[in-house]
């Protein structure tokens, strides 16, 4: 028996959903839909709000549509005049490719949280987490050979053990805690191998600039990642060091790229590398002081999994999971601060929504 979707204006979850749904009706949201070619706008907005309600309460789209037909106050709450059929919703969502969908969510994030003001230096927190799929691996044995044509793979997490799914690498701005980028890889590739990929994505989208600081835990530790961060991306890669780290060894590996010596502004660019290396060595000597800021991204993951159904996801393609993660990041961005007292939200018993 599924619980009815009865609006409760004293419940923080309904209050948060109301705020997000209101934003989707704003002119800015409609402009972004038109810019991404997601039309007709009125119908697209209704479908998008139905999707948000379904994901928010871990129920399938057909059930949300039945509740909308049954409850006039829910239709008013969700700003829906014409209720589309379930087939219409599924067809519409399947036709939107992932880049357009993620671009729309990023635009809504900027509307919801406001674009973080660009400072001389920016701090980005990055971390990875497992995305497990709700496949019953106990009832049916699934071998690696069975996954050759699937997007997901077997992975291993120290907190969850072996699982079927993906690896999510998330980057958030600090201290605003606004998600700025994410990558999804099948299985569980080691964090140290993904460090360069997430920096490339941040650089491609012009989120990080020269002299910015990127904070990561010990999972990303590798001398080559320090070197690549300074010489390849001109940032301060504050990766928490492991036992045996030697600052002299790191400094000896820092070599200026050959392209620097043929640059027109040689001295200025040389100064950027020197400043990044100097700041990195100073921060590595006091890295314990950065534990508290870095822990904020762990709060984001706990919130997404325990309150917004990012645990045991009922999706089985990279494209569908990417859309789901994008929507979840929008909800986490809007959650009240500080995060920690809110992480005890009761987790739904199952995630029955599927694309």
The verdict on whether omega for the bond into residue 338 sits within 30 degrees of 0, i.e. cis, is yes
Residue 290 has a pLDDT of: 93
Q: Are residues 136 and 172 in the same domain?
A: yes
Residue 148 pLDDT more than 90? Answer: no
Is the model more confident about 341 or about 94? Answer: 94
Query: What are the tens digits of pLDDT across the range 209-264?
Result: 999 999 999 999 999 999 999 999 999 999 999 999 999 999 888 887 777 766 66
Residue 348 has a pLDDT of: 32
Q: Are residues 182 and 80 in the same domain?
A: no
Q: Are residues 134 and 207 in the same domain?
A: yes
Q: Are residues 78 and 165 in the same domain?
A: no
> Is residue 180, in this structure, part of any structural domain at all?
yes
Residue 353 has a pLDDT of: 30
Residue 39 has a pLDDT of: 81
Q: Are residues 46 and 155 in the same domain?
A: no
Residue 110 has a pLDDT of: 63
| pLDDT tier at 191, thresholds 50, 70, 90 | very high
> Is residue 113, in this structure, part of any structural domain at all?
no
Query: What are the tens digits of pLDDT across the range 302-313?
Result: 777 766 667 778
Q: What is the pTM of this model?
A: 0.74
Query: What are the tens digits of pLDDT across the range 234-245?
Result: 999 999 999 999
Query: What are the tens digits of pLDDT across the range 3-50?
Result: 889 998 888 888 888 888 888 888 888 888 888 888 888 888 899 899
Last residue of a domain, one of 249, 265, 295: 295
31: domain range?
A: 1-96
Query: What are the tens digits of pLDDT across the range 289-328?
Result: 999 989 888 888 877 776 666 777 877 888 888 877 877 7
Residue 258 has a pLDDT of: 73
Residue 162 pLDDT more than 70? Answer: yes
Helix axes 41-56, 27-35, angle to 10 degrees: 110
Q: Are residues 154 and 271 in the same domain?
A: yes
| pLDDT tier at 117, thresholds 50, 70, 90 | low
Residue 332 has a pLDDT of: 63
Q: Are residues 159 and 289 in the same domain?
A: yes
Location of structure tokens 């799929």: 133
Residue 98 has a pLDDT of: 75
Residue 147 pLDDT more than 50? Answer: yes
Last residue of a domain, one of 295, 310, 333: 295
Across 271-277, average pLDDT: 89
Structure tokens at 271: 């100064």
Rounded Cα distance, 209 and 233, in Å: 8
Residue 124 has a pLDDT of: 94
Q: How far is CA 25 from CA 43, 48, 66, 78, 81, in A?
A: 12, 10, 22, 10, 12
Query: What are the tens digits of pLDDT across the range 79-116?
Result: 999 999 999 998 888 888 777 777 777 776 666 555 55
Residue 118 pLDDT more than 90? Answer: no
Q: Work out how many domains the chain is built from and give that number.
A: 2
Q: Are residues 149 and 192 in the same domain?
A: yes
Residue 52 pLDDT more than 90? Answer: no
Q: Are residues 146 and 283 in the same domain?
A: yes
Rounded Cα distance, 174 and 163, in Å: 31
């Amino acid at each position: 028996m599924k619980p009815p979707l009865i609006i409760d204006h004293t419940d923080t979850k309904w209050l948060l959903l109301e705020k997000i749904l209101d934003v989707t009706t704003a002119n800015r949201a409609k402009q972004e839909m038109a810019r991404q070619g997601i039309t007709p706008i009125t119908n697209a907005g209704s479908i998008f709000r139905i999707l948000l309600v379904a994901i928010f309460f871990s129920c399938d789209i057909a059930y949300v549509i039945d509740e909308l037909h049954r409850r006039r106050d829910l239709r008013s709450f969700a700003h829906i005049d014409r209720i589309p059929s379930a087939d219409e919703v599924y067809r519409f969502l399947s036709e939107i490719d992932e880049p357009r969908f993620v671009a729309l969510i990023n635009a809504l994030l900027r509307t919801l949280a406001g674009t973080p003001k660009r400072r001389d230096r920016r701090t980005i927190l990055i971390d990875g987490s497992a995305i497990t799929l709700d496949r019953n691996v106990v009832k049916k044995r699934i071998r690696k050979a069975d996954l050759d044509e699937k997007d997901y793979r077997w992975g291993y997490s120290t907190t969850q053990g072996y699982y079927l799914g993906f690896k999510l690498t998330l980057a958030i701005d600090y201290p605003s805690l606004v998600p700025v980028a994410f990558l999804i890889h099948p299985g569980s590739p080691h964090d140290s191998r993904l460090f360069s990929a997430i920096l490339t994505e941040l650089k491609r989208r012009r989120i990080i600039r020269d002299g910015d600081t990127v904070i990561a835990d010990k999972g990303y530790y590798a001398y080559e990642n320090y070197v690549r961060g300074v010489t390849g991306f001109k940032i301060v890669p504050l990766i928490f060091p492991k036992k045996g780290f030697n600052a002299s060894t790191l400094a000896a590996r820092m070599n200026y790229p050959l392209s620097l010596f043929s640059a027109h502004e040689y001295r200025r660019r040389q100064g950027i590398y020197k400043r990044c290396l100097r700041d990195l060595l100073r921060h590595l000597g006091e890295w314990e002081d950065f534990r508290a800021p870095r822990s904020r991204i762990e709060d984001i993951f706990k919130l997404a999994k325990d309150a917004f159904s990012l645990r045991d996801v009922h999706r089985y393609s990279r494209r569908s999971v990417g859309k789901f993660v994008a929507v979840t990041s929008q909800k986490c961005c809007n959650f009240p601060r500080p995060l920690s007292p809110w992480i005890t939200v009761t987790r739904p018993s199952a995630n029955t929504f599927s694309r």
